[in-house]
């Protein structure tokens, strides 16, 4: 089951892997469009899509994994920047 991501601030990107070309070639253009729109919605809102089409549900799991990894990396970098900013402010205030 794909977990709902609840980002404080959503990542603005996720990688699209070249290996997906073979998987996407099995889908119709309409299915690829639905899949891409669903992935972007998941990226921006964290809401898991529901698919009537089992093939789309299966294909979406690859997208969701990459989006979750991107969100985790984004959150880690964002928190590191916040800590750096706080430490910098503390250092300047004690000068």
What are the pLDDT digits (tens) for 60-85? 998 888 888 878 887 787 676 656 65
d(CA 15, CA 39): 11
- How would DSSP label each residue in 42-88? HHHH-PPP--SSHHHHHHHHHHHHHHHHHHHHHHHHHHHHHHHHHHH
pLDDT of 89 strictly over 70: no
State pTM to two decimals: 0.65
Residue 52: alpha-carbon gap to chain centroid = 22
Determine contact, residues 21/32, Cβ cutoff 8 Å. Answer: no
Give the tokens for residue 32.
Answer: 């690829």
């Amino acid at each position: 089951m794909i977990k709902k991501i609840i980002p404080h601030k959503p990542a603005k990107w996720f990688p699209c892997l070249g290996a997906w070309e073979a998987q996407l070639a099995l889908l119709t253009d309409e299915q690829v469009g639905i899949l891409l729109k669903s992935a972007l919605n998941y990226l921006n809102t964290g809401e898991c899509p529901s698919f009537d089409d089992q093939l789309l549900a299966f294909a979406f799991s690859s997208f969701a994994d990459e989006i979750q990894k991107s969100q985790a990396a984004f959150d880690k970098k964002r928190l590191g920047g916040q800590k750096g900013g706080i430490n910098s402010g503390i250092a300047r205030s004690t000068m």
